[in-house]
Structure 1
């Protein structure tokens, strides 16, 4: 496998010709298109993606190790298919609607100003995760570990306390309805 170090890729379209299979270390991808592309078995180490479109990209066995995503469109990405060894990434100003983090261990993951509509967090370990100003409308939390997670500025979530671990998680008073929705009660 090729090794590519400290390169910057700008305005490239990898949706028609896939990114070459390689190990990318400390690389930046700026305004690149990866929509529907095959990123399987590619290794990203300490890379940054800025203003990229990775919607429906195949990330089967893809390694994301200390990777930053900023202002990226990432609709329908099946992150649960990634290489789980040392998996670590952070998202800011990203649109991740319809993506899946099913059963992933993502302790201390950070989502900042992200749209996470209908994202699947079923059985994920989100211990100490931070969701700053995130829209979680329709996001699925089932048997999810949210212990010590910070959702105090998140909105539109619906989390069932009986089927999720929420010990010491932080929520805002105005969005507590997202924890009580399943009880069909009226909150004034």
Structure 2
């Protein structure tokens, strides 16, 4: 069923298999829900709890998440065709973006603790002012990615593509971690 241009507030359950277009979800607690095979097109989620939501074959096209709690979401099981989402001040700890095409994706002010970006394509992506503690980058394309203001960044330049990536000087130790080099000011 197509649901268009509707505003949902304080929703606690969402019917999977529906298509939502131009909808806004405010202060919804949909944790542990099932979005499988749903479609979200030009939708916005604001101040929602979406932790552990099942997203198997779910379509996300031009979807914005703001101030959302999104712990443990397996985005790699969602429909990859035309996937486009932006995340602003969201908590995405333990979420998975394995092998996803995230070109030009935006993560701003997000908590990305132990998020798996293995084999993903984040080229031209923006991860601005994000906490990347324990985030996994393994054979990830980070060419021209912007990490301005981000912290706790550890990337192995020998197994990841980082050409022309913008990385804060303060995160230099995270690029050299595999070499066990101690970096400090001269005394």
Shared topology, TM-score over 0.5?
A: yes
Q: Deviations over 1:34-87 (max 9, x none)?
A: 111110000000000001111000000000000000000000000000001110
Aligned twin of 1:112 = 108
Q: In the alignment, which of 114, 127, 141 is matched to residue 131 of structure 1?
A: 127
Judging by fraction of residues, say which structure has more strand: 1
RMSD over equivalenced CA pairs, Å:
0.7
CA contact (8 A) 2:109 2:130 kept: yes
> Following TM superposition, by how much is the alpha carbon of 1:33 offset from its aligned partner in structure 2, in angstroms?
1.2
Superposition deviation, residue 152 in structure 1 = 2.4
Per the alignment, in what secondary structure is the counterpart of residue 86 of structure 1?
A: coil
Partner of 2:10: 11
Determine the C-alpha separation between the residues in 2 that align with 1:112 and 1:19. 29
Equivalent pairs counted in the alignment come to: 184
- String of CA shifts for 1:98-154, please: whole Å, max 9, x gaps: 000000001000000000000000000000011111000000000000000001211
Does the CA-based 8 Å contact 2:16-2:34 persist in structure 1? no
- List 4+ stretches of structure 1 deviating above 3 A: none
1:20 deviates by 4.5
Provide structure 2 residue ranges, at least 5 long, that are not aligned to the other structure. none
2 CA distance for matches of 1:74 and 1:52? Answer: 8
TM-score by structure 1 length?
0.96
> Unmatched 5+ residue regions in structure 1?
none
TM-score by length of 2: 0.97
Does 2:63 correspond to 1:67? yes
The question of 1:52 aligning with 2:48 is answered: yes
> Are 1:78 and 2:74 counterparts?
yes
SS, match of residue 176 in structure 1: helix
